[in-house]
């Protein structure tokens, strides 16, 4: 039977900040042995399903796995929900709420798991937050500076799904469109369907910008769950087998 946690050499993590240790100076001596793998993608793209399938596969292969994602911080999660209900809040204020949520999870969950040798599977990361900020009129440089304390993932995938296919998946999953995932707060269109399509197109365009800057790997998510999983699992397993 495979070991629970596969032995991997410890290493110094890499940060997005221009300084050696980014925005977390107290972690200057940090060493980790785990790996951080991010799966990005729009709502209903199949991210969460892929994370579940990858977790099952990796654990069967002998890896200890931790799942994380956006808006899961016990410290700030409820605050985000309240902030989204307060339409008078500015775009940067809401962005700071999400940044606080991410920072708390990075410090309390992600880093400890990486120190313990876990494979951390992140259901979205800072890229979704930056893309949302840009589409809502926040300057890219401001968002980039805001997240300069973030760890650079070992692998980052973006599940790319056509917005028209996406909207049908959303209806099949929830029977309604989410206010923010449809960009309704931006006043794009009085028609929610049209607003969703335009908003998702804007996000997809922004992810193309992020792809070049942050070396994201695009995965075609228009096919079946199984086909998408094969594409993801093949690349991840190949990478992990090289470092184990």
| Separation CA 18–CA 121 (nearest Å) | 25
Q: Are 123 and 36 in contact (CB under 8 A)?
A: no
DSSP string of 32-43, one letter each residue: B-SEEEEEE--T
| Separation CA 160–CA 221 (nearest Å) | 5
The dihedral through the CA atoms of 203, 208, 211, 214 has a sign that is: negative
Per-residue confidence (pLDDT) for residue 39, from 0 to 100? 98
Per-residue confidence (pLDDT) for residue 2, from 0 to 100? 38
Per-residue confidence (pLDDT) for residue 4, from 0 to 100? 44
Per-residue confidence (pLDDT) for residue 23, from 0 to 100? 57
CA triplet 97, 42, 134: central angle to 5 degrees? Answer: 50
Per-residue confidence (pLDDT) for residue 11, from 0 to 100? 87
Please list the pLDDT of the chain residue by residue as tens digits (244 residues).
234 455 467 888 888 875 555 556 777 788 999 999 999 999 899 999 999 999 999 999 999 999 999 876 666 666 666 665 655 567 888 888 889 889 989 999 999 999 999 999 999 999 999 999 999 999 999 999 999 999 999 999 999 999 999 999 998 888 888 888 889 888 999 999 999 999 999 999 999 999 999 999 999 999 999 999 999 999 999 999 988 7
- The DSSP secondary-structure symbol of 184 reads G
Per-residue confidence (pLDDT) for residue 19, from 0 to 100? 56
Question: Which three-class secondary structure string do you get for 162-180?
Answer: CHHHHHHHHHHHHCCCCCC
Place of tokens 């292969």: 61
Per-residue confidence (pLDDT) for residue 62, from 0 to 100? 93
Q: What is the pTM of this model?
A: 0.89
| Separation CA 233–CA 216 (nearest Å) | 16
Strands 65-69 and 119-123: parallel
Per-residue confidence (pLDDT) for residue 88, from 0 to 100? 56
For the chain, domains (ranges, CATH) are 30-159+217-243 (3.40.50.300)
């Amino acid at each position: 039977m495979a070991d629970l946690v596969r032995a991997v050499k410890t290493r110094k993590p890499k940060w997005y900040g221009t300084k050696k240790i980014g925005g977390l100076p107290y972690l200057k001596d940090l060493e980790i042995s785990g790996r951080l793998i991010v799966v990005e993608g729009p709502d209903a793209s199949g991210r969460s399903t892929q994370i579940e399938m990858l977790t099952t596969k990796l654990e069967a292969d002998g890896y200890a796995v931790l799942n994380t994602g956006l808006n899961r911080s016990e410290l700030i999660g409820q605050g985000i929900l309240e902030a989204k209900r307060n339409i008078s809040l500015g775009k940067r204020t809401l962005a700071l709420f999400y940044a606080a949520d991410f920072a708390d999870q990075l410090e309390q969950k992600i880093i400890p798991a990486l120190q313990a040798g876990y494979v951390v599977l992140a259901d979205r990361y800072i890229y979704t937050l930056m893309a949302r900020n840009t589409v809502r009129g926040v300057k890219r440089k401001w968002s980039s500076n805001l997240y300069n304390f973030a760890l650079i993932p070992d692998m980052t995938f973006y599940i790319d799904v056509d917005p028209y296919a996406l909207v049908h998946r959303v209806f099949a999953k929830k029977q309604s469109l989410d206010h923010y995932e449809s960009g309704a707060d931006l006043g794009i269109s009085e028609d929610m369907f049209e607003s969703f399509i335009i908003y998702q197109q804007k996000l997809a365009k922004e992810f193309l910008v992020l792809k070049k800057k942050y070396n994201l790997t695009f995965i075609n998510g228009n096919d079946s769950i199984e086909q998408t999983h094969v594409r993801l699992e093949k690349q991840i397993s190949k990478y992990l087998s090289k470092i184990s």
